[in-house]
Amino acid sequence: MLSGDPDTPKEPILYPDAMGLRVGLLAISLIAAGCATGDDDERVGDTPPTTGTIPATSYSYGDPPVVGDAATPAATAVFDGIVEDLAVGGFTTSGLDELVAAGDARHAWLISDLLRFSADPGELDRLAAAFVELTGVDPSSDPTFSESPWKSITDHLIAWDVPAPPDYREMKAELFTLVDARWAPFFADTNADIDWRWISWGGVLIDDRPLGATEPCPSGCIPALDDPALTNAGDGDWYPDDAIVFGIIEGDDVVALPKHIMEVHEMVNMTIGGRRFGIPYCTLCGSAQAYVTDEVPDGVGVMVLRTSGLLSRSNKVMYELTTMSVFDTFTGAAVSGPLQDAGVVLDQVTVTVTTWGEWKAAHPDGRIVAEDGGIGRSYDLDPLGGRDDDGPIFPTGDVDPRLPAQEPVIGVITGDGSAVAFPADAARTTLADGEPVVAAGVELVDDGGGLRARRGDGVEIAAHEAFWFAWSQFHPDTELWDQA
């Protein structure tokens, strides 16, 4: 799994009341099992839902179950009872039986949520059996089921697009806030444009440290790096030439962010070319993006992006610290809180993925994040240890079959709002052969071994690389460049 010393919190300080104790202790034990820190007490990536490798699969999810549209009045009370018993140390089989007896397949989403926070084999078996009773589908033939019943069952529900039951947000909030009460503002926003079915726990807690903080999170988070120290490219010999960087250009300022540092922090807030940026990196979906954060509504100070510890279909859920507004990490749109009310959609600039040797050769006057990040820590060159090499480890549902799930693509949103994707490796090969790469009025060009996008008139368009499953789920109607 992950490399480095495990983080071992000494007490469940985030769970002060009895309600949160049982699930809180379970959460801490799961976090500790999947941590990697180097030399301090903080998380560097999402904790997989199992300890094994979840295989990629072409499994067919089949037809969805028939669902009703009437509310089941007792369901909320029954689920409340299950959560209350979980909080004080017991799993309520009778409550689960009542939920199943209601016969509403929509309640399978509650089974999915309970599975994510279950570690006992007996509980897992009872919950999986409840799913079969509710849906009439036995998922055990899914190759992922043996490694993670939770992932398999949730993949089925996403692929089927099963509706959420009435009061789902409230019920989900009750369970999730046992793990981290600081998520409560996200669930409390009744106007949030969030599909709560897709929200899952990434295995880490919220990063709510103030801007500029360098101390680790007390009980495990993915710690953002704020205003890292930069050094000239010529002083970057400590980083291997064949290692990956994420390149950003703003005006005359050229900055490279080493992948291994981004794998540890997954979020950087910094100034480039006189402009303020928030730069999330979703390790699970292979996507680094650069958002301009200095254009804020009246009454909002400095925008600070942070990692919540939650996921949406295997994509990190980021939020803005001062307003507790959730953002769609992939699109830059605020989907909850005051920034959603203000209609904020963050502008993006291109993030170029290439090797350090090629990037510094193309941009010798550029800069790179300092070896210690400016915070005096050391970074393993492979902190995740190949964790994501064998396919998505969190639920994604079905994947557009036009490409393999983790095929890297360059994604672009055109001027009319339509999406186009270019398989990255094929595009690089085509350009190296001297042939153009053009689709939907967008042309890709080489920049230090990476790829940038421009319109036919030469004006650059923001682009970034991501795994195909992530790009296609957020842009299901995307056009795909035909390399033939």
Q: Which residues lie across from 185 on neighbouring strands?
A: none
Nearest to 202 by CA among 178, 176, 226: 176
Residues near 83 by beta carbon (within 8 Å), at least 6 away in sequence: 171, 174, 175, 178
Are residues 145 and 50 in contact, defined by beta-carbon separation less than 8 angstroms? no
Q: What's the start-to-end Cα distance of the chain, in Å?
A: 39
Distance CA(174)–CA(19), nearest Å, equals: 10
Nearest to 344 by CA among 383, 284, 294: 294
Distance CA(401)–CA(461), nearest Å, equals: 27
Residue 393: count of CB within 10 angstroms of its CB: 25
pTM of the model: 0.90
Side-chain-facing half-sphere of 46: CA atoms under 13 Å = 27
Q: Assign 3-class secondary structure to 23-45.
A: HHHHHHHHHHHCCCCCCCCCCCC
Q: Tens digit of pLDDT per residue, the chain (484 long)?
A: 222 332 333 222 232 333 333 455 455 444 444 333 334 445 556 776 654 455 556 788 999 998 877 777 788 899 999 998 888 877 777 789 988 988 899 999 999 999 998 888 889 999 999 999 999 999 999 999 999 999 999 999 999 999 999 999 999 999 999 999 999 999 999 999 999 999 999 999 999 999 999 998 887 899 999 999 999 999 999 999 999 999 999 999 999 999 999 999 999 999 999 999 999 999 999 999 999 999 888 878 889 999 999 999 999 999 999 999 999 999 999 999 999 999 999 999 999 999 999 999 999 999 999 999 999 999 999 999 988 888 899 999 999 999 999 999 999 999 899 999 999 999 999 999 999 999 999 999 999 999 999 998 999 999 999 999 999 999 999 999 988 7
Distance CA(450)–CA(288), nearest Å, equals: 13
